Structure 1
Amino acid sequence: MFRTNKIGFGGSCHWCTEAIFQSLKGVIKVSQGWIEPGDHSGGFSEAVIVEFEPDMISIEKLIEIHLHTHSCTSQHSMRSKYRSAVYTFNDDQVIAAVRAIEMLQDEFENPIITKVIPFKAFKLNNQQYLDYYYNNPEKPLCKTFIDPKLKILLSQFSNHVEEKKLIL
């Protein structure tokens, strides 16, 4: 029996984030929609909840992949819709996430703006938009935004990619 954990991620379009995490070994399920933070930093924003097998992929590796596949150093005008965050479900995750972000800062020229925020609530997207990339790989949004992120995933984290899932 597998032991699974879950953690939330936000930072870019939830269709992009969903496709990235769906492509990883050790990820059991990705739920795509909107997360409300538990720290009063704003309302719901686009995000995913990732259920994963920690013996196959660590929380630290998931955070590293997340930081490298969205603009984690950019304070752009769409940040209320695309909050750069790691949403935690327990105190151990808070400690691991803060430590991981601090350790990874050296890999980025500018300061990482990604916040570690307690999870409060989740709203699942409409069924027609779930598994968006894998159901619509030829759509312009997928070609323009998701394919380049998956190419980063392949070039920097190929040993964590479930290649049979990728359709690039």
Structure 2
Amino acid sequence: MSQETELATFGGGCFWCVEAALKELDGVESVTSGYAGGDTDDPTYREVCSGTTGHAEVVQVAYDPAVIAYEELLEVFFAVHDPTQLNRQGPDVGSQYRSIVLTHDDDQRRLAEAYVETLDEEYDDSVVTEIEPLETFYEAEEYHQDYFEKNPDDAYCTFHARPKVEKVREKFAERVKQRA
């Protein structure tokens, strides 16, 4: 990571989907799947899936703010999940799939709160996204990292991650990394 790199942490359902979508963006240096927002130290995927740790599946985004602003990351994050669904996204149900923005500083908190307030006016249902300061991020097991990239034909990826990636490529084409 360069000295200019900043971090953002988001949860909006399965981390495979959010990771795949955000990796498309120019200025995003890396996206790491993990767990945050709970009470158990160094939880495993199985523990998080049990719903007893309090953690959410999240992604931590390392990005260059000279190329992409935090507000732009928020815009894409909220475009690829439904922030009005409490503790679920698509087929994934449980508090580990909740919509959450874990902030790294007061500026991120203010920007996220303002963005959610604007979104609340756009939706018929209330936005249920939690905004909390990030305490600890636990990196998920290796097989979860770059899951969509490694398993593009996996049924879950085909039906849930791919549409999010395609949405980013279409709706945010000017922000997508150029492919060689």
**TM-score category (smaller protein):** 0.7 to 0.9
Question: What residue is the counterpart of 2:50 in the other structure?
Answer: none
Q: Partners of 2:176 and 2:121 in 1: how far apart?
A: 24
What secondary structure, in the 3-state scheme, does the structure 2 residue paired with 1:113 have? coil
Alignment of 1:7-156 (within 5 A): 7-36=8-37, 43-76=54-87, 78-156=93-171
User: What one-letter code is carried by the residue in structure 1 that aligns with 2:124?
Assistant: E
**Paired residues, number:** 162
| TM, length-normalised to structure 2 | 0.82
Structure 1 stretches of 4+ with a deviation exceeding 4 A read none
In the alignment, structure 2 segments of 5+ residues that lack a partner are 40-52
Evaluate the alpha carbon distance shift between residue 120 and residue 37 of structure 1 in structure 2; reply closer, same or farther with a 3 A threshold. farther
| TM, length-normalised to structure 1 | 0.87
Cα deviation 1:112-144 (Å, max 9, x = unaligned): 211211101122111122110111111111101
By how many angstroms is 1:63 displaced?
0.8
Cα deviation 1:63-108 (Å, max 9, x = unaligned): 1111110111112552411120111011111111111222333443
Which stretch of the first structure deviates more once superposed, 106-115 or 83-92? 106-115
Percent identity (aligned): 31
CA RMSD of aligned residues (A): 2.0
